[in-house]
Amino acid sequence: SATPLSISCWSGGAVPEVRIDTLCLALHRPGTDGEALAAALRAHEPPVVARLQEGRVLLDFRTLFEHDLPDVAAAVATLCGA
């Protein structure tokens, strides 16, 4: 499910406190907690790196390239039954 705007950190290093608005997709797989779903996404080929926030698995669209979307969609469909 899409979340309202979320907050993402710009980077570490010189500006670790700079936060920007972003849009995320919250993922859920019945019977699986967030840690296990995030691990399954990372183990997928190709790996998909998501953010864990308050136990939710979030795909941050700010961090995805358009050419990655088919692979991300395939991973989500496989792991979440979408």
Phi, psi of 4 (to 5 degrees): -60, 180
Whole-prediction pTM: 0.76
| pLDDT above 90 for 2 | no
Summarize pLDDT for 18-34 with one digit per residue, the tens: 677 788 899 988 889 99
| Amino acid found at 65 | F
- Beta bridge partner(s), residue 23: none
Secondary structure (3-state) at 68: helix
**Secondary structure, 3-state, 50-64:** CEEECCEEEEEHHHC
Label residue 23 exposed, middle or buried (CB < 10 Å: 0-12, 13-18, 19+). middle
